[in-house]
Chains A and B, each alone.
Chain A
């Protein structure tokens, strides 16, 4: 049979397949003595789980814990303040992706900066920044880069293009972060933060688009060293249901492995060309503060020394504050990002804190656990 593009959508959203996996999971789960907590690290998976109402199809024993995999949610206020301060400079056009518009820093969001007259532009693709730079030769164009491994190569490609085409007025503020380090942090720090059985992470659903770039190999350490099974899962509802089924089977059969459900797009090695492009321009930061989680070593990237002349953090060193900023007292984003609290356990959830007036970052991004709960979660 010939594969049609439509099959790649509809086939993985097939209602009958979703139902079939639901009944398979139910049968398999009966063989389990204890419940299992599955952390879906990635906000994309959180979105799928909530949008398609998957928890409604799963037995009581299967519990999802939402992870910190939303690049907007984990951005600490001090970094958002950087974007705000840079945007407010007279001769600057700040360019970033649409997700950043509403995230509040301590001074306000980029939306507020724009209302105050800052030139802030949201692009669909980093590459669109080239045109903005060429059209505004008398301005400094600052690309505020966000995202996980999936998005990093596109920033690298933009840097590559800017250098090769000799574009002199384009600079970068890099906030790219990496997945495995935060997963390790969540496991390592759990004993300190939680002793409750409810919040133990038993298994991971691995972010798959991260693996399209970085390979599935980045998760090998989890079954090997941490004794946590991982299934790298696609983002359609059938993908997620199948991944849950694969995890349950691992528990039933007493296995602890790294498995790939998303074989159609994920390989062990990932995309080597993209990795090379990343390595050409970026290196690990010693430390990066994750909102609500704290400083995690080697969990983010920065421009290599030789590209300092492009690095907005270096160029604007004098005006960018370095002090840490406390998060809002009432907001429990930190616990939510750690997976030790559910959004509806927050005292301001849905009242003071809503997608239209977010207090914390998990409510800002449509991928944030709070936003997903607010939008889809009322019946669950």
Chain B
């Protein structure tokens, strides 16, 4: 027993010692930055981070480690507000970054103007994922309120992607009814009567549709839909692109408050700028995001995107107006979900 404990202590001392040495080694050569992102960007940033680390090493001789945290976009924003030391945020919604800017002084209010294309290096849109052969013959948004159709979408209250879904449906209905917002609201209310399950996030909704076999149509990010197709085999599902959809612009921002205190501004800035480079644009297109500069990406990647009329968030007055109007407590979503209406 006694000798056992002694070797235990020796081992512990060794472990502590090696940790100490390790951290000294790290402090000299390595910079670490943290990218706080949302759920469906896992694969994209895995590849991009490796590419950037290589590029940074080649340019400056310094080693950089990029940590990435993924989760629901709103939850991620809340973590940053509550003190998670993100160097950059790459979230699903402008409104989430606005929330960080409003709640802390770590991001300036004009963050959107600091990078090209409203700080969105890549965009996406909302499409329908249906079962192979499209058995219910779903073509466009109008089909989704048919008697025999069940729609899977996450909860707009908890999921950034679901807010894009909601607005895309709204945009179609408004256009179909000559710009009538009341008719659009009626349509969206109808649509949500066909939703049997509200998952809390986009990945959860995909699981419900794919694994549990629930529903006829999944409203999904275009990149998630293609990814599901790739992962699960094109034998089971296909993608239907509606006539009108929304241009989903997931933005990126530098968290000034954190990079200044950590001394990582230069590398964090370079990291975000690299998203706009040919390498960044190529990787984005490869992972089914629509690149901001399609001419830089591989033509066979960009050729995969179907032509669709895309409305932008500006038609809803931007996120600063849309967020409280549609998704805040008592907003449009709450109104259409009141019982007995």
Asked whether A and B interact, the reply is: no
